[in-house]
């Protein structure tokens, strides 16, 4: 059978009028050095799953005659003779290489174009195959049309490059899509032969379901999807960004296992295990709000951000907020650890300006760190307890070794506020200075190690120890604008008279605080700088 080349609608004036055919205000954020998606487009196409038509039925991809299928951009669907995207390979004869039956067919959508999605359900969307990739020379942007709410039940991109997704909702419970129950709702993956790169997700809304208020714990376990957004592949998946998105009602919020990846400005809530898991190099995790985890009664030990096994470098975790509970009516509240890595080996690790308000021992906890900065963080207990829960105070800690790493060396622990400090300080280049230990019930401990490797348990009474490390007897109530665990109100800005004001060291301190405000020359301890006008 001879396949005829499809007839595509004419792209009149596409290049001449690129600047006026659909610009969007503001560029998307990407990892430093990665290509930035455009805000103007060569051509704009429209897809409407409710009122659109197939190509065979007269769909033209215009605003007045939209197509009806997003999947048709990437594969041959009923009513379409070839993928709509010019770079999407599909199985048909290749005169230039008869042995290769998968090659692009020259559809009308080109790199540099935008696809606008109208309201409706688009189902599962799959881009690429393990045997052949979808490689664009520049970004193809797929976005919600203004005022519209397109919904996907899953989005999976394999061996794909240069796609941006913006303003799209991805929702689906495990029981609504049994085939994909264990799959992430949004996934990017690559392989050595067929890598993925330059994949941007912004202003997404990702959840198992919008409303889980009536779910029992058993329903949570049966219906929640495992992962919200996952980027997988290490060096084979690069330049992925997930920004300004809402991820909720999920087991794991996001997994960061792609190199050169940005995860920024996301709201992750009602997660059953970890907010963000990470094990990659050259990653920036910043300005995320991780809060209100849910107890699924499945034995999970939840963390706000947790590192996993491997050897990694150039990891920055900055200006995140990890708060165990903010909603007084949260069903099945759970204990929570903060920002940690019990596995892995971490070179050039930066942990700055973070707020952790949790219940368990490891508020911020790392080991096997080489060339690290843990500076200007606020780590506190929210004083919550329940029967059988981990009740130790959240510590800021630097340990010796993880399960698979080597001993920590060359690390600075400075300008931190916490309810406890534990530092394995036997390497001479491990420095701990200008930290404040806030007492709970009059007690706080700074645990260091003696030359023989035994712990020094004696640093627990209010006073100044070592290089400007303070145990402050007044506690959180006298340090912050509003610390009210009974009402789940935590305004952790410094109040007038706080010990932390001006007590920090400027050496290697971040130039701005968690809000982006310049710290100036008098450095305050903790994530927030003191601002008497607010």
- Do 447 and 423 meet the contact criterion of CB atoms below 8 Å apart? yes
Task: Provide the domain limits for residue 126.
Answer: 13-212+226-234+241-246
Angstrom distance (rounded) from CA 22 to CA 13: 14
Distances (CA, A) of 317 to 56, 270, 304, 350, 374: 51, 21, 12, 6, 10
Structure tokens at 337: 């650890």
- Do 447 and 422 meet the contact criterion of CB atoms below 8 Å apart? yes
Using alpha carbons, select from 376, 379, 426 the residue that is nearest to residue 399: 426
Structure tokens at 117: 């999605």
Angstrom distance (rounded) from CA 61 to CA 183: 31
pLDDT of amino acid 182: 78
Q: Where are the alpha helices (DSSP H) in 58-201?
A: none
| Residue 357 counted as domain residue | no
pLDDT of amino acid 441: 86
Q: Across the chain, which distance is largest between two alpha carbons, in Å?
A: 87
| Residue 279 counted as domain residue | no
Query: Does the predicted TM-score (pTM) go above 0.85?
Result: yes
Angstrom distance (rounded) from CA 48 to CA 161: 24
pLDDT of amino acid 94: 79
Contact residues for 397 (Cβ-Cβ < 8 A; gap 6+): 362, 363, 364, 365, 366, 421, 422, 423
Tell me the pLDDT of the chain (534 aa) as tens digits.
333 334 444 433 333 323 333 345 578 999 999 999 999 999 999 999 999 999 999 999 999 999 999 999 999 999 999 999 999 999 888 778 777 788 888 899 999 999 999 999 999 999 997 678 899 999 999 999 999 999 999 999 999 999 999 999 999 998 876 666 778 999 999 999 999 999 999 999 999 999 999 999 999 999 999 999 999 999 999 999 999 999 999 999 999 999 999 999 999 999 999 999 999 999 999 999 999 999 998 888 899 999 999 999 999 999 999 999 999 999 999 999 999 999 999 999 999 999 999 988 899 999 999 999 999 999 999 998 765 555 678 899 999 999 999 999 999 999 999 999 999 999 999 999 999 999 998 889 999 999 999 999 889 999 999 999 999 999 998 999 999 999 999 999 999 999 999 999 999 999 999 999 999 999 999 999 999 876
CA-based torsion, 521, 527, 529, 530: positive or negative: negative
Angstrom distance (rounded) from CA 107 to CA 529: 54
pLDDT of amino acid 392: 76
- Angle at Cα 252 formed by Cα 123 and Cα 321, nearest 5°? 120
Distances (CA, A) of 240 to 258, 321, 349: 7, 22, 20
H or E element, residue 222: helix 217-223
Angstrom distance (rounded) from CA 281 to CA 23: 33
CA-based torsion, 516, 481, 289, 360: positive or negative: positive
Q: Residue 141 in 3-state DSSP?
A: strand
Structure tokens at 288: 């995320």
417-449 burial, b at 16+ Cβ within 10 Å, e below that, comes to bbbbbbbbbbeeebbbebbbbbbeeebbbbbbb
Structure tokens at 260: 């050169």
What are the start-end ranges of the E strands in 342-435?
Answer: 345-352, 355-358, 362-366, 369-375, 378-381, 395-398, 409-414, 417-418, 421-423, 430-433
Q: How many structural domains are present in the chain?
A: 1
Using alpha carbons, select from 50, 46, 51 the residue that is nearest to residue 84: 46
Structure tokens at 277: 């898991």
């Amino acid at each position: 059978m001879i396949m005829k080349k499809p007839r595509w609608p004419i792209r009149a004036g596409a290049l001449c009028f690129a600047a006026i055919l659909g610009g969007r205000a503001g560029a998307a954020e990407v990892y430093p050095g990665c290509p930035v998606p455009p805000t103007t487009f060569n051509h704009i196409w429209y897809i409407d799953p409710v009122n659109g038509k197939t190509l065979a039925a007269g769909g033209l991809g215009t605003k007045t005659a939209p197509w009806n299928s997003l999947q048709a951009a990437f594969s041959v669907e009923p009513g379409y003779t070839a993928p709509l995207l010019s770079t999407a390979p599909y199985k048909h004869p290749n005169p230039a290489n008869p042995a290769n039956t998968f090659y692009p067919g020259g559809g009308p959508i080109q790199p540099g174009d935008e696809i606008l999605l109208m309201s409706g359900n688009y189902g599962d969307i799959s881009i690429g195959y393990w045997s052949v990739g979808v490689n664009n020379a520049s970004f193809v942007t797929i976005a919600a049309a203004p005022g519209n709410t397109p919904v996907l039940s899953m989005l999976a991109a394999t061996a794909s490059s240069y796609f941006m997704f913006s303003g799209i909702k991805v929702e689906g419970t495990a029981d609504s899509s049994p085939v994909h129950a264990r799959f992430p709702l949004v996934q990017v993956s690559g392989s050595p032969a067929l890598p993925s790169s330059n994949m941007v997700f912004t202003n997404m809304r990702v959840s198992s379901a919008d409303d889980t208020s009536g779910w029992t714990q058993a329903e949570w376990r049966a219906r929640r999807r495992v992962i919200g957004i996952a980027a997988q592949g290490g060096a084979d998946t690069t330049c992925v960004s997930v920004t300004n998105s809402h991820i909720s009602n999920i087991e794991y919020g996001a997994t960061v296992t792609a190199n050169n990846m940005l995860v920024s400005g996301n709201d992750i809530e009602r997660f059953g295990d970890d907010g963000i898991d990470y094990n990659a190099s050259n990653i920036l995790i910043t300005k995320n709000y991780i809060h209100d985890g849910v107890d699924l009664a499945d034995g999970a030990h939840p963390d706000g951000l947790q590192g996993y096994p491997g050897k990694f470098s150039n990891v920055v975790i900055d200006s995140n907020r990890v708060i165990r509970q903010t909603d007084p009516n949260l069903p099945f509240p759970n204990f929570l650890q903060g920002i940690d890595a019990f596995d892995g080996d971490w070179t050039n690790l930066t942990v700055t300006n973070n707020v952790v308000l949790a219940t368990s021992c490891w508020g911020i906890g790392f080991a096997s760190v080489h060339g690290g900065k843990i500076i200007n963080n606020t780590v506190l207990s929210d004083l919550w307890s329940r029967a059988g829960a981990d009740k130790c105070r959240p510590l800021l800690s630097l340990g010796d070794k993880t399960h698979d790493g080597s001993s920590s060396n060359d690390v600075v622990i400075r300008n931190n506020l916490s309810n406890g400090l534990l530092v394995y300080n036997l390497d001479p280049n491990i420095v701990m200075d200008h930290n404040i230990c806030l007492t709970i019930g009059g007690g706080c401990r700074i645990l260091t190690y003696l030359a023989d490797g035994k712990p020094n348990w004696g640093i627990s009474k209010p006073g100044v120890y070592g290089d400007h490390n303070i145990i402050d007897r007044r506690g959180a109530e006298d340090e912050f604008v509003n610390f009210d665990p009974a009402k789940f109100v935590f305004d952790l800005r410094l109040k007038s008279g706080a010990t932390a004001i001006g007590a920090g060291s400027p050496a290697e301190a971040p130039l701005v605080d968690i809000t982006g405000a310049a710290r100036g020359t008098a450095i305050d301890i903790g994530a927030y700088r003191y601002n008497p006008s607010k």
